Amino acid sequence: MTTEARYTRQDFQTDQEVRWCPGCGDYTILASVQNFMAEMGVDRKDIVFVSGIGCAARFPYYMNAYGMHGIHGRAPAIASGLAVARPELSVWVVSGDGDAMSIGGNHLIHSLRRNINIKILLFNNQIYGLTKGQYSPTSETGKRTKSSPMGSIDFPFNPVSLALGAEATFVARTIDMDRAHTTEILNQAYRHRGSALIEIYQNCNVFNDKAFIQLTGREERDQNRINLVHGEKVVFGPNRERGVVIEGGTARIVEVADIGIDAIHVHDATAPSAGPAYALSRLSHGPFGPTPVGVFRSVDRPVYEETLQQQIHDAQAKKGPGDLGALIASAGTWVVK
């Protein structure tokens, strides 16, 4: 699958006019992905992007590789079939919080639990952008929108918590404006064998502008951004004066000076149990206040399509080539006269 060819970002750009609202965070994500693809070392003919419905779903039009614009919520299902049938391909899913968390919820969690080798980029702007500003499954409670004029009464999904609960083997979060961090997360997801979900906080400057200001604002970000680094203590703040401890399965924020640096939690993305990663994901239920970003979990587990191919190989070795007609007539058949 790898090649010695070296691409540039321009090699992954198409002749299609990129059409998002001026200032949309999707532009930055697109640039980050195109730059990463140029450095990934994979031939363009071996790369596939699959999308659903929404602003983010335009992605395949703008990537000079194979791609498919699917129907609402079904991108993980299409990508799963593709990855199983053609395991040599690098398969990427682009979806939004509405597309993936609402109608596509079942497809998302089952592709993650099966550990199919697909990489899912979940653009989370906490709003329905394409359909003009209704609240989404990740919108905060009380959100006033065209479909919730008195404030949403729903309790929102936490995509990272959801993915961890679905037994995903790689779960991460990044921010559209941080291209260096996004590139690093993309690289780790690509090198991971199995399902990978990357939640990308993506600003919608028309219908939900500055939703992530606490993590991106010049004056706010140092106070609120918790950078998870495997093998390092979870500390943050302008002077790294605050930290995270996990006790009884619950993570909480403390002042390092009050309890000492030795008591601070050391992040282990490869821990066999998803418990610590889940506890970290619950520190915030959205980009409000101290919020972790980075790789929450990265563990090894058999990849679905590899196990499936081994089953087929073993069956053929034991019984020889299959007979579809015999299989159909093997049981539970009858004749209608």
69 lies in some domain: yes
Report the domain count for the chain: 1
* d(C-alpha 41, C-alpha 47), whole Å: 11
Q: What is the pLDDT of residue 108?
A: 96
Q: What is the pLDDT of residue 225?
A: 97
pLDDT along the chain (337 residues), means of 10: 71 95 95 96 95 94 95 94 95 95 93 97 94 90 92 94 97 96 97 97 95 94 96 97 96 97 98 97 93 98 93 84 80 80
267 lies in some domain: no
Tokens of 80: 């799963």
Helices (H), 10-104: 25-40, 59-62, 75-85, 97-98
Q: What is the DSSP code (8-state) at residue 114?
A: H
DSSP, collapsed to helix, strand or coil, labels residue 113 as helix
* d(C-alpha 183, C-alpha 29), whole Å: 9
240 lies in some domain: no
Q: What is the pLDDT of residue 255?
A: 97
313 lies in some domain: no
* d(C-alpha 248, C-alpha 234), whole Å: 17
199 lies in some domain: yes
Domain containing 121 equals 9-217+302-306
Residue 326: φ, ψ to 5°: -65, -35
333 lies in some domain: no
Q: What is the pLDDT of residue 333?
A: 76
Q: What is the DSSP string of 241-293?
A: -EEEEEETTEEEEEEHHHH-GGGSPBP-TT-SSSHHHHHHHTT-SSSSSSEEE
30 lies in some domain: yes
154: domain CATH number is 3.40.50.970
40 lies in some domain: yes
Q: What is the pLDDT of residue 186?
A: 97
